[in-house]
Chains A and B, each alone.
Chain A
């Protein structure tokens, strides 16, 4: 450690300056904190949080979204490792009784015409089983077993390639109460499935019968249950939890 001689005056001045800077910096930090806390929350599709925090989430989406590759697969497990008691965490969009006989998946094509697809037709497409660690945004996770049709296969089977060139997919429950927005690369990930089976049996009602989304590259909030309508857009579609301050991307 260096030692040196300084005058009393210099020692005093240096001390005062250092403490002044310390307290000013501390004050600025506290002021910035209260400024951020008092900022009104944004509204709309990217709502529920203050602008700088939302900018942070969107910045992260750009940084980590750029690492995303459809070749990176989510780790899978044997069906025997899947839990039998699958956790049920939400029922928004599933409150009205379901008329399963009348249920059809609506796919809104770009020109305004809508496909109405029955469950029988969806089941005709190649089926895929997937056991993976389902991750809830709350922090818990479970190894669960799902079965259905790969979303990318579904797109091809119904000639939706032009729509799949857009930036986002929006999915909504039949009652319009729950809705998610997905970036296209994640939606077309080879492990994203339109799911109609859990543990080798048809989906239970509380898990989204007759059809739900399983998208292992996202948190559970994006795995919409009881699918009603699918649409495509270059603008971010509405997202239930993003409107409430959560990260729109919510991807892994």
Chain B
């Protein structure tokens, strides 16, 4: 017999894994679109610190001159991205899973302790149920980021029909920049997520596919020890 812990619900696993290729297509097609006007850079004192992106980056990913293709993919998969995200939020709310995911008033302080712990500065990790404070903040923030991507996306996609959204975003140009920054945010989230998954190990990764984690196994040492038969209950296994 195995004692298992049900870690991830079926719907959450499906929606999580579906989001991976969806987000990949959205970011890739977004890059095809962005290439056509690749103006963003981080400049300090007029000196370009980071350019989004160098020509070599565009060329390496075969991004140039594919604007129409990028738009066609982006505006088809936006629906899939939206529906998937919507179902995830709906499901976490209905199932009560949100209670494990939403930060509380101690989360900010604890997340800092988690960070110190992960960086091997602090020895002990604060106790948690299912998700630690840093995870709670990250997994809630990513939902708001998704929501932000939809809003800023609509602001640049239909700035006349949704002029109020464009206004909320601070204008058309601002909305485009915000949409881009959110994408950079996803990439950073993804990198940290991958590092954490690798750190957490195979058992944790496996549970995201199977849904459960084995806590303990009762190994039968031998039939003689574990099994006794009594005359009145001949088939009872103790």
Contacts and interface: CB of A to CB of B under 8 A. Distances in A.
B87 to A, nearest CB: 16
Contacts of A138: 36-37, 67
B93 interface: no
Given A11-B212, A139-B36, 18 more contacts: A3-B215, A4-B4, A5-B2, A8-B1, A11-B4, A18-B209, A33-B21, A64-B157, A64-B158, A73-B160, A139-B176, A140-B37, A140-B39, A217-B160, A245-B68, A246-B71, A252-B158, A252-B159
Place the interface of chain A in its size category.
Answer: 35 or more
Select the residue from A68, A139, A141, A247 with max chain B CB neighbours within 10 A. Answer: A139
Interface stretch (A47-55, A98-106, A123-131, A195-203): A47-55
Contact of B6 (A1, A72, A136): A1
Contacts of B68: 48-49, 241, 244-246
Interface stretch (B49-57, B72-80, B144-152): B72-80
Contacts of A33: 21
Interface string B90-133: 00000000000000000000000000000000000000011000
Contact of B129 (A1, A7, A22): A1
Which of A29, A73, A241 lies at the interface centre, i.e. has the most chain B CB atoms within 10 A of its CB? A29
21 contacts: A1-B7, A4-B4, A5-B1, A6-B2, A6-B4, A7-B1, A18-B210, A22-B209, A29-B21, A48-B68, A50-B72, A52-B76, A53-B76, A72-B161, A73-B160, A133-B172, A139-B36, A246-B68, A247-B72, A247-B75, A252-B160
A3 B161 contact: no
A1 B214 contact: no
Contacts of B21: 29, 33
Interface in B145-204: 157-161, 163, 172-173, 176
A246 B74 CA distance: 12
A3 B5 CA distance: 4
Contact of A57 (B75, B159, B212): B75
A74 interface: yes
Interface string A40-82: 0000000011101110110010001001100011110000000
A14 B130 CA distance: 22
B17 interface: yes
A135 B171 CA distance: 12
Contacts of B157: 64
B33 interface: yes
Interface in B1-47: 1-7, 17, 21, 33-34, 36-37, 39
A5 B4 CA distance: 6
Contacts of B73: 53
Nearest to A2: B6
Interface string A237-252: 0000100111100011
